[in-house]
Amino acid sequence: MTNANKILAFVFCLVAVTGLSACSSSQTNKQLQAEKDKANQKPIEGNLVFNNFTLDQADERGLPLWQVKAKQASYSQNKKRARVEKPSGKLFQDGQFVLEVSADRGEIWEDGKQVFLQGQIVAKDPRNGAVMRGQQLEWRPQEDVLIVRQQITGTHAKIQATAREGKYFTRPQQMELQGQIVAVSADPALQLRTESLIWQMPQQQVIGNSPMQIDRYQGKTITDRVVGNSGAVNLKTKTVTLKQNVQLKSINPPLDIVGDSAIWNLNAQTVVSDRPVRIWHPPEQLTATGDRASIDLRQQIAVLAGNVQAIENRNRGRLATDRLRWNIASGQIQADGKVIYQQAKPPLKLTGSSGLGKLQNQTFVVRGGGSNRVVTEIIPE
């Protein structure tokens, strides 16, 4: 018996006046069923049309793959596909219910190997509460993947996202979004924009391998903005990790932080970088650079280490040291290690093992330590 005839026989066994019914071994029941089938089916252009119908599919082990209920279903033997109106149903994985779907209309192809739905798609995962909406849906049972196209919206307790299209992998409970992505989180209050994003729902993490912009909000006001070539947001630990061409702009304190790596702890309000970094403070026209840095935005303290330089642009004060602690609010800088301080007016150069002061008003004191003495060099104009 061909697949088409098998499905057609299966269809006739399922049709009832009010919905799905089972085939009976009784001859009387068969006759009654035949009369009901005849009343309920309408041949339209070679198709068999049934009302209030249920279709389902199992795998080779007999485990359910999907079950779709429809207001109306039509089956074409030639095309080997079923068309359904107002479908709603369940999708299964290893026999377990993983997704509930509904749509305006749909088609089932190749003896159930693919399910297509269109118009006002809603797909819900009961395991994690995720809801996906769009205009086109494709379910591939053998690949355990659900594809949603045409302005997909994903909603979860932790985050909401919109994109052009997305793939939802039911086994890892992971969604891959593509195109014009905007993701919004309530706690922490963030908005993320990018073109490619992986949303790992059990791990409460979103990962992007394309340039992204993340804005942090307080109410409706943006308090911080960070961009990078790639990155990840961990909603559980409330941390943002960014790589390559990282730029973070803070409103309070007013800072621009630029580097190739940054870990931004949203709760602690700290930024840590293990790569060369530059910090710019516009009000004091002061720039500090180092091989690595830790910035406490709440306390307004920055600590830099390794090849540290600080430059004050107004009076052209310059400091080089091994380690620097910068109180951004007061402007005071503490330097440790080999310290070299220079200023333009009057021209002066000091060398020592530690230093303390403010570059912006040229009140920087350099000290020696142990056998190290302070060396003062006056530079003639």
pLDDT value at residue 230 = 93
Going along the chain from its start, the domains and CATH numbers come out as: 276-381 (2.60.450.10)
14, 50, 210 from 6: Cα distances, Å: 13, 17, 48
pLDDT over 90, % of the chain: 41
pLDDT value at residue 18 = 30
Angle at 351 between CA 346 and CA 353, to 5 degrees: 140
| CA pair distance 92, 58, nearest whole angstrom | 9
| CA pair distance 170, 191, nearest whole angstrom | 26
Q: Give the tens place of pLDDT for each residue, 110-153.
A: 666 778 888 888 999 999 899 999 988 888 877 888 898 888 89
Lowest mean pLDDT: which of 13-17, 165-169, 189-193?
A: 13-17
State the pLDDT confidence band at 109, using cuts at 50, 70 and 90: confident
Please name the residues in contact with 340: beta carbons below 8 A apart, sequence gap of 6 or more: 319, 320, 321, 349, 350, 351
> What average pLDDT is seen over the chain?
81
The listed range with the strongest mean pLDDT (70-84, 128-142, 318-332) is 318-332
Q: Is the pLDDT of residue 185 over 60?
A: yes
- Neighbouring-strand partners of residue 243: 230, 261
DSSP secondary structure code for residue 379 in this structure: P
| Cβ atoms of 242 and 230 closer than 8 Å | yes
pLDDT value at residue 17 = 29
Residue at token pair 């870990």: 263
